[in-house]
Amino acid sequence: MKTYFAKVLLIGCWLFAWISPGYAQFYTAGSSSTEKSSVPDAWEISAAGVVDFVQLKDASGLKAFSNQKGLSVRALFYSCPYLALGIEGTTFAKENFPGVEKYRVNRLGAVGKLLLSANTLPRSYMLFGIGRTSRELDFSLGWQESADSTYYQLGLGLETDVWEMIFAGAELNFIYNDATRIGNFYRLSNRWETQLSLRAGIRF
């Protein structure tokens, strides 16, 4: 597990080494740097395909399931050119494994987006958020167990304008869960989740 997180951290560092606002400030002979103006539009709506790296274990400690794929939808309002606040919801594909017919996970919370380089392309930004995660298990024998937990989110992202109001980018998020147990038989292997996503959206 430590080796896995080390690899993820290295990948994240490599991806976001570009975060310096000076990234787009390269000069070559006969050319000059250009800057993109701060995000001018008040509203931002986006969707993303996400992969959540987390393991679910049974009471004996054996891995039952790992790595979930889902869809995230986010709506933000820019109170100033550098800061946006809003809500985000994520739903993951239903999974099944021995003894469990359906494993469902949904997440909903408040999210903030702080632009670190609003005047350059690609734009880099930091994410922070808090909310609730709902996990449900439908067992093959007919009963159900569920658990809700608070999560805290911190992440980094890069995005660029594709066409006029449309943008696309990638994000790396670290999510901390305040609880790991789901009913009597299953639990998360770690309070921390790592989430990678490819996001596209529109501003207006």
Report which of 17, 26, 12, 202 is spatially closest to residue 120, judged by C-alpha positions: 26
**Predicted local distance difference test score (pLDDT) of residue 141:** 86
**Predicted local distance difference test score (pLDDT) of residue 65:** 77
**Rounded Cα gap, residues 175 and 57, in angstroms:** 18
**Predicted local distance difference test score (pLDDT) of residue 40:** 58
Determine which helix (DSSP H) or strand (DSSP E) holds 182, and give its type and residue range. strand 181-182
**Predicted local distance difference test score (pLDDT) of residue 59:** 82
**Predicted local distance difference test score (pLDDT) of residue 77:** 98
Assess contact for 184 and 145: CB atoms under 8 A.
Answer: yes
pLDDT digits (tens, 9 = 90+) for 51-109: 999 889 888 888 887 889 999 999 999 989 899 999 999 999 998 888 899 999 999 99
At residue 159, what are phi and psi to the nearest 5 degrees?
Answer: -145, 155
**Rounded Cα gap, residues 109 and 152, in angstroms:** 9
Task: Indicate the domain borders of the chain.
Answer: 43-203
Beta-strand pair 63-80/83-92: antiparallel
**Predicted local distance difference test score (pLDDT) of residue 183:** 86
CATH domain 43-203 topology: Porin (2.40.160)
pTM reported for the whole predicted model: 0.78
pLDDT in single tens digits along all 204 residues of the chain: 445 444 444 444 444 444 444 333 333 334 333 444 455 579 999 999 999 998 898 888 888 878 899 999 999 999 898 999 999 999 999 988 888 999 999 999 999 999 998 888 899 999 999 999 999 999 988 889 999 999 999 999 999 999 989 999 999 999 999 999 998 889 999 999 999 999 999 999
CA dist 124 → 20, 21, 49, 74, 105 (Å): 8, 8, 19, 17, 29
**Rounded Cα gap, residues 34 and 160, in angstroms:** 14
At residue 17, what are phi and psi to the nearest 5 degrees?
Answer: -65, -15
**Predicted local distance difference test score (pLDDT) of residue 38:** 54
Q: Is 19 helix (H, G, I), strand (E, B) or coil?
A: helix
The encoded tokens of residue 36 equal 């993109």
Q: Is 62 helix (H, G, I), strand (E, B) or coil?
A: coil
**Predicted local distance difference test score (pLDDT) of residue 19:** 42
Assess contact for 51 and 197: CB atoms under 8 A.
Answer: yes
At residue 180, what are phi and psi to the nearest 5 degrees?
Answer: -120, -20
At residue 9, what are phi and psi to the nearest 5 degrees?
Answer: -65, -40
**Rounded Cα gap, residues 38 and 35, in angstroms:** 9
What phi-psi label fits residue 130: left (phi over 0), alpha (psi between -120 and 50 degrees) or beta?
A: beta
